[in-house]
A and B are shown apart, each in its own frame.
Chain A
Amino acid sequence: MADISPAPTEAGNPVIFARGVHKHYGAIHAVDGVDLDIRAGELFGLIGHNGAGKSTMFKMMLGLIPLTAGEIRIDGASVVGGDFRAVRRKVGYLPENIVLYDNLNGLETLQFFARLKGVSSADNPRLLERVGLAHAAKRRVREYSKGMRQRLGFAQALLGRPRILFLDEPTTGLDPEAIRGFYAILRELRDEGVTMVITSHILAEIQERVDRLSIMAAGKVQATGTVQALRERMNLPLRFELQLAPGAFDTVRATLADLPVSAIEARDGGLALRCGREAKMKVLAALSSLGDLVRDLTVREPSLEDVFFGFSD
């Protein structure tokens, strides 16, 4: 595993600590030697293909399934054994494809889980309001849409103001506006110092929002760091998109010929190319020397998807 994130800050002691975690089902190694250090107040992403081991890792962090080998500590305590109740009261969990009880209404659902968590139900109406379900508080879950169920599941995860949140594919079934609202709540929670681990297969959604992430493949963590650090480590080429003045194509192409650029292609009224990060400033200097021949310029970073496939393939 490559941890290329900056050195932990003083405020960032690991709240979630995993060392040498293995989970084997017979010959299948669902999780195969994972180390994780997730710091207090961090929004941490765990990404990977289906079957990469994310959900298994989640279940082990929650103490739902035993480890074949290794150690997991949440806020310094083991998730199994004598401390498990205290640990679980600090933790909120939103499972993938949450299933709630159809015969209960929104408020009753929260009341049931609040009792199990041993917290007051006084805040429940406010929680429903926070996730945008105040209007459906008295409606049975049977009548909820998929997105509403997901929001009720999120409210459930927030019961008792947990210090740590595990969110497994939390935006499944949400429309774009609800996704935006969801991440707004996550930002508020981060400001309150809540540590969050989130999985998502929508990489574009996660890349602008997480502080750091781990890429999992075949049961292993392939890389951990900020999105930017992972991009730099993968050293994927940047993409330049130019808008040119009429008739400038050949001149611009000739100028670029001596530079370490690749994949020059003509586009309507312009040109696109790729170059390594180290050549970025040289290319920019050369392009700006062309003056009015270049009308507009966009530099695109490789997407998290490009990075992801770089690490997981």
Chain B
Amino acid sequence: MEFSQIATIAGKEFWDRIRNRWVLAVALVFTAFALSIAYFGAAQQGTVGFRSIEVTIASLVSLVIYLIPLIALLLGFDAIVGERERGSLDLLLSMPITRGELLLGKYLGLAGALAFSTIAGFGLVGIVLSAQLDLNALFHYFGFMLSSVLLGCAFLSLAVMLSVFASDRTRASGMAIAMWFFFVLVFDLLLLGVLVVTAGQWGGEALPYMLLLNPADVFRILNIFSLEDVRTLYGLSTVFPPSLARPWLLGLVMLAWIAAPLAIASWRFRR
């Protein structure tokens, strides 16, 4: 594996997103949402203004869990199938580059763009809020940003995998949307459904482990369990074994969610 080849592809993907203002647009969306939530998140309760970092992060988590998977899937779904459909893939592959290097370069470039806009967008808000935050709160906010980047990277990895398997862009976009529905909307309902239908006979013990099968849930747990005040707001804490609720362990699960789809994509692309 030649690093320079990966860097060339990654550099092009990254600068393409900078030049076409994709990074700027996404960062602005994140900034706007984060600011609105921080200052107007409690408007329903009749107050405005920044309340606490815990409540802000909890609200941001509920938003980001929908938004980032969607953005990541839209960013990556045509990474390979797009090149193939436009007809530029053969020329790329005629260069002294392996398919694995091309795939990894594409992924890293796109992940760089997504991470950059996430950190820039939420980081800006962090700076604005920093005057009102103590060190502990800043640490939690940083953890939220990091887990958001990981969430994006996991769904981007799934998107790149789709882009290798799909035969054309239209199908790839359909599969991306279906994947978003499944992980973000359907998965939790399905788990709950199984629990209710079997009256808790089946799945109760396994439930916390089942949640690890969804990177969006891993993200949610990561953020909720790092916040003492918020933990009690969610019923999850009563079923979630403390042995699993370790940030580094959940972080590793997230890394597995990044590595596994990429590995499958690479295997498929080489065939």
Contact = CB atoms under 8 A, between A and B. Distances in A.
Contacts of A309: none
Interface of A: 59, 62-64, 84-86, 88-89, 91, 93, 95, 97-101, 103, 112-113, 115-118, 153, 156
Interface stretch (B93-101, B138-146, B176-184, B186-194): B93-101
Given A99-B87, A99-B88, A100-B88, A64 B12 contact: no
A116 B6 CA distance: 9
Contact of A117 (B9, B12, B19, B96): B96
Interface residues of B, number: 20
B130 to A, nearest CB: 37
B90 A59 contact: yes
| Interface core residue of A63, A93, A100, A115 (most chain B CB under 10 Å) | A115
B16 interface: yes
A103 B4 contact: no
Given A116-B97, A117-B96, A95 B91 contact: yes
Contacts of A64: 90, 93-94
- 10 nearest A-B pairs in the assembled complex, by CB-CB distance: A85-B96, A116-B95, A99-B87, A88-B96, A99-B88, A93-B94, A115-B8, A62-B94, A99-B86, A95-B90
B20 interface: yes
A91 B96 CA distance: 10
Main secondary structure of the interface of B (DSSP, over half): helix
B59 interface: no
Contacts of A95: 87, 90-91, 94
B16 A118 contact: no
A63 B92 CA distance: 12
Interface string B1-43: 0101100110010001001100000000000000000000000
B87 A112 contact: no
Interface in B86-123: 86-88, 90-97
B87 A91 contact: no
B106 to A, nearest CB: 13
Contacts of B91: 93, 95, 98-99, 153, 156
B4 to A, nearest CB: 7
Name the residue in B19, B20, B92, B94 with the highest tally of chain A Cβ atoms < 10 Å from its Cβ: B94
B4 A118 contact: yes
Contacts of B4: 115, 118
A88 B94 contact: yes
A101 B8 CA distance: 15
Nearest to A84: B96
A85 B19 CA distance: 31
B90 A112 contact: no
Interface centre among B2, B4, B12 (most CB of A within 10 A): B12
A203 B95 CA distance: 29
Contacts of B8: 112, 115-116
Contacts of B16: 101, 103
Q: Which of B2, B20, B95 has the most CB of A within 10 A?
A: B95
Contacts of A101: 12, 16, 88
Contacts of B12: 101, 112
A118 B95 CA distance: 10
Given A101-B88, A117-B95, 12 more contacts: A64-B93, A88-B94, A95-B87, A95-B90, A99-B88, A103-B16, A103-B20, A116-B8, A116-B96, A116-B97, A118-B96, A153-B91
Contact of A89 (B9, B93, B96): B96
A43 B5 CA distance: 31
Contacts of B5: 116
B98 to A, nearest CB: 8
Given A103-B20, A112-B8, A116-B96, A97 B90 contact: no
| Residue in A62, A84, A118 whose Cβ sees the most chain B Cβ within 10 Å | A118
Nearest to B7: A115
Contacts of B88: 99-101
A312 to B, nearest CB: 25
B89 to A, nearest CB: 9
Contacts of B97: 116
A91 B20 contact: no
Contacts of A59: 90
Contact of B94 (A91, A97, A112): A91
A45 B37 CA distance: 67
A117 B93 CA distance: 11
Contacts of B92: 116
5 contacts: A85-B2, A98-B91, A99-B91, A103-B16, A115-B8
B19 A103 contact: yes
Interface string B48-66: 0000000000000000000
A65 B90 CA distance: 10
A168 to B, nearest CB: 9
Nearest to B92: A116
Nearest to B105: A116
A97 B9 CA distance: 22
